[in-house]
Chain A
Amino acid sequence: MQGLLESIKETYNALWHVKVLGDSLEIITPMVTTSEAFVSVFVTKRGDEYVITDGGWISSGYYECDMDLQGKAYQRLFQYYIENYGIFQTIGHGRTLYYKKAKDRILVVNAIFELSHFISAVVSGANIQFQADKKEITFRRSVRNYLSLEFDEGTFRFGQKLTPNSSIEFGAMSNLGGYIQLVNVVTGSNTGYYRDSLCRSNMYFEYARSMAEKCRINKTIAILDDTTPSVYNAPAVREFITFSQEREGNILLPWSKKSQLSDLLVA
């Protein structure tokens, strides 16, 4: 048995690798994801502090996971690990980076340990099929493709937060005429999902408008999925759409009228 332990330790130790990338290190760890990747973390220095980060790999999709941060179940899972491991986040090069810091060199290893477990958990968790609404995922993707295709490069940023510490992400964000415009996507495969999606969008917009002056927000636009008339025209959905239309500040744009979006953004 002594020999077995030695062989386990030897194999386990052999899983660590380092790549030198300029002033940063990529550390390949023994942690894995169910998407068949080994977790990498990046270590760099800012001032006298060490920064340990995922390098934006989670949000860039390098772990081959489609994070559905709008989905309730996954959002809870994600938030749980963020809080449990004390993970910070920031935006750089248009991506979200998750990170921890260590002042003390000997505590860098702790941060690597926690961050790599965090990456493994949230990536593997993203591969779990919760009661995810496929319709929502595919429609959201179509909107994103449309916005990337029809508008100039860099017009929209996707899945952005108003402030790094906010937990709310907006579907898309543009920055035209010195102001910020927020775009949300409202969809759902049945009236229940659709209504939830609309309520969530309204709530997020209301929250954003409370900071309108500070964050220079001048437009909040909800793109409504009208590709399934039986859902879109259902009384349970219409009731909420009518109510939302009557509220000040809401712009609701059915997907079939998406060509009006560029005018709405700058009007």
Chain B
Amino acid sequence: MSKLTKPDKEILAILNDYRLFVDSDKQIDMPFCVDEIDKNHVTDLKGEAKLNATAPLGNTVLECVMRENNEYKYSFNILTDAVKSRMLFRMDEGNGTHWNRHLPIPVDQQQVPTPHFHKVGDDGIMYAYSTDDLKACPNPLNIHDGFLAFCKECHVNQDNIQINIHEEGTLPLEFAPEPDPLIGIQFP
């Protein structure tokens, strides 16, 4: 195991509650709005909503970050105030391939491209994983379909799942479906 990868002791101590939380039904107000400009990265949009679970774990929120005005680059995070690390569950798309280096399996199985989910394993270490449902989705996966996949995997709302992405005070943007990250860039 890598020296850098350490178990989250706080979550290990409440592992049972953690598992119950992850598996429990959760509810947020729909539609989920992603409309705030990130103060540090002006091309990023953020959204946050209070999240209630039937098996709660502190006060929890669902957070979304969409990077570079690109609907193929985003994360959904479930955060709590119950542990210092805050992160309980996460989905990533378009920001790189995770290496589950702490798992005692061959390296090709440690490699998890996006889109993928993250949750804390029995050893207290957060790992990335995919599911058959996620593997069957188009790749790259746009944020609307990604939100559906996220809600299903983490049991957030059963129906009426909607996500609105636009800057505050403006009309919803039409994002180009073009996921080419190098479009328009010259290489002298």
Binding site for B on A (CB under 8 A): 11-12, 14-15, 17, 19, 21-24, 26, 28, 30, 32, 34, 36-38, 40, 42, 44, 46, 51, 53, 55-57, 60, 62-63, 88, 90, 92-94, 97, 99, 101, 127, 144-145, 148-149, 153-154, 164
A42 and B99 in contact, given A15-B107, A53-B187 (Cβ under 8 angstroms):
no
Evaluate contact between A62 and B42: CB separation under 8 angstroms.
no
Task: State A14–B111 Cα separation when bound (angstroms).
Answer: 10
Task: State A89–B188 Cα separation when bound (angstroms).
Answer: 9
Task: State A56–B94 Cα separation when bound (angstroms).
Answer: 13
Task: State A153–B185 Cα separation when bound (angstroms).
Answer: 21
Contacts of A23 in B (CB 8 A): 180, 182-183
Evaluate contact between A22 and B96: CB separation under 8 angstroms.
no
Evaluate contact between A88 and B95: CB separation under 8 angstroms.
no
Cross-chain pairs A/B with CB under 8 angstroms, 22 sampled: A15-B111, A17-B97, A21-B180, A23-B180, A23-B183, A24-B180, A24-B183, A32-B101, A36-B2, A37-B99, A38-B97, A38-B113, A44-B182, A53-B182, A63-B96, A88-B187, A90-B185, A90-B187, A93-B43, A94-B43, A145-B40, A154-B42
Evaluate contact between B42 and A153: CB separation under 8 angstroms.
yes
- What 0/1 pattern do residues 83 to 115 of B give for CB contact below 8 A with A? 000000000000111111100001110010100
B171 at the A/B interface (Cβ < 8 Å)? no
Contacts of A88 in B (CB 8 A): 187-188
B35-68 with Cβ < 8 A to chain A: 37, 39-40, 42-43, 67-68
- Distance of A93 from chain B, by nearest CB (Å): 7
Q: Output the residue of B4, B97, B183 with the most chain A CB within 10 A.
A: B97
Evaluate contact between B180 and A36: CB separation under 8 angstroms.
no
Contacts A26-B181, A46-B186, A51-B182 aside, 17 further interface pairs with beta carbons under 8 A come to A11-B106, A12-B107, A14-B108, A17-B97, A22-B178, A34-B4, A36-B4, A37-B96, A38-B99, A40-B96, A42-B182, A56-B181, A60-B68, A90-B188, A92-B186, A97-B187, A164-B188
Contacts of A99 in B (CB 8 A): 187
Evaluate contact between B5 and A36: CB separation under 8 angstroms.
yes
A21 and B99 in contact, given A44-B182, A53-B182 (Cβ under 8 angstroms):
no
Contacts of A145 in B (CB 8 A): 39-40
A55 and B108 in contact, given A28-B113, A37-B97, A99-B187 (Cβ under 8 angstroms):
no
B181: contacting residue among A11, A42, A90, A153, CB under 8 A: A42
Contacts of A37 in B (CB 8 A): 96-99
Task: State A200–B27 Cα separation when bound (angstroms).
Answer: 53
Contacts of A94 in B (CB 8 A): 43
B140 at the A/B interface (Cβ < 8 Å)? yes
Contacts of B188 in A (CB 8 A): 88, 90, 164
Evaluate contact between B42 and A148: CB separation under 8 angstroms.
yes
Task: State A22–B176 Cα separation when bound (angstroms).
Answer: 11
Q: Which residue of A lies closest to B106 (CB)?
A: A11
- Distance of B180 from chain A, by nearest CB (Å): 3
